[in-house]
Structure 1
Amino acid sequence: MQYVVQAGDTLSSIAQRFNTTVEAIVRANNISNPNLIFVGQVLIIPTGPTPTPPPPPPPPTTVCPRLSLGSRGPAVTRLQVLLKNAGIDPGPADGIFGPKTDAAVRAFQRQRGLPVTGIVDVPTWVALGENCGVTPGPTPPPPPPPEECHCPVLRLGRRGPAVRLLQRLLQERGFYSGAIDGDFGRRTERAVRQFQRQQGLPVTGVVDEATWRALGVSCCPIEPRPPAGMPIDTKVVRGLRLILFTDKRVYQRGESIKITLTKTNTTDDPITLRYPTTQIIEITATNAQGNVVWRWSEGRQFAQAQRVITIFEGGTQVITEFWNQLDNNGRQVPPGTYTITARNLALEVTLSVQIEIR
């Protein structure tokens, strides 16, 4: 075969490329000086074995390896950093997948609505923000996690749904192996103490707010009391006491209007509310002529994913929003009387109060 010398070629590089030797090329072309070849020179390359192709590059190391209790290495360190960035403490970023990292993974999976396995698989990596290269195009966000409102103090002797939730959470983390029976007995107490010790919490056996939060539960605040003399509307629906109120009755032009809606569980059982999207409330301001001048949802976007909120017995969900007295066209509304209406989208119940702008 023939080869045309290119810029930068040497007999050594040509011989290597075609799996032959410099001596064989010199003999085939009667070259007197092996160090002297020129660009464009046509060389006869002795036939021989087929050139050996370069070895294929090694497969890339996966950026989303499967990790679980006992794993070690840089991928575990990366996992621990991502968990910290997500607001969950896995312990020191030491590359060791120990019990605290396992508890953090389970808490994260629970918050994101993933199977609570403690195993870091591709869906868990993706939820943590890693690009695992497994799906083309943008990855849709996971549905919002269930939210538990209120963290009742639980201790030896307590019974009920909140104890069942506690037992299930402890079981998922490997601290409890008994029945999910809602009975806070000695076995549940021992599991609570072991979990508190592992998390660095005071080992009391009593489930307080800090213990609930370490278990991945979002604790809602206690029911606020409306200021005396303020506009207020109250209804009780399905065991929930709803209260709508503002922080003032009369506002000066340009003052921010604080609107609060509370939902308190007055029963002895948890109440679960399911919303078709991530929007849970609609608020409007209507003028004296009955025209809606402001709608809270105007210009906002909501994910088309079901949202689930559970309010434990005695617990309260508090929703606070503000109206800056601008209509939905960005203009200051004129002085007058306005009706503030809040509608809960799971219960389909509305409450209204009146305010005055001077």
Structure 2
Amino acid sequence: MTLNQKITDTACDAAFTGKEIHPWDSGPVVAELQGLLRAHGYTIRIIDGDFGSLTEAAVRSFQKKHGLRINGVVGPQTWAALKSTVQPGTRVLRLGYTGNDVYELQGLLQVNGYEVSRTGIFDRKTKLAIKDFQQKHKLKDNGIVNSITWTLLRGGYPQPTPPKEPFWLPSFLKWR
């Protein structure tokens, strides 16, 4: 195994993990979690960075569906399942995000002539490439990959729509 391969493997491993987070935590890492859950079809109305009861219910439902320990805590296995199965184009991407969709984004950037590494980590070089792409296509050049940027990167093909996943809302005692 070459040094470059080891670096790439380590970066890819890092792309599918994350800090362990618990219900009632808050911050950007929770916002990323909420975006991933929404991309997987769970009803997360507001991505606010607060790990409240609705986010916890979605996490527990996701864990159950994927045969993970159902504890509402997002640890290495839950992060890996969320990030490796997320479909490209189903969530908004920004600096610091990681996962399979970021890996695919970097591949699309390469196809469009940008020299970025495919690590699955939305780093500064990826952001600069996105900003340049957005400028060339007369989009708001904020380095955030939304549905319009995804569509243009794909050559005009629209993004897939995430499937809707039902989950139990204890406060309403019904399926939504």
- Structures share a fold, TM > 0.5? no
Q: Could you tell me the TM-score, scaled by structure 2's length?
A: 0.41
Higher RCO (C-alpha under 8 Å, 6+ residues apart) = 2
TM-score by length of 1: 0.21
Between structures 1 and 2, the one with greater strand share: 1
Task: Flag the structure with higher helix content.
Answer: 2
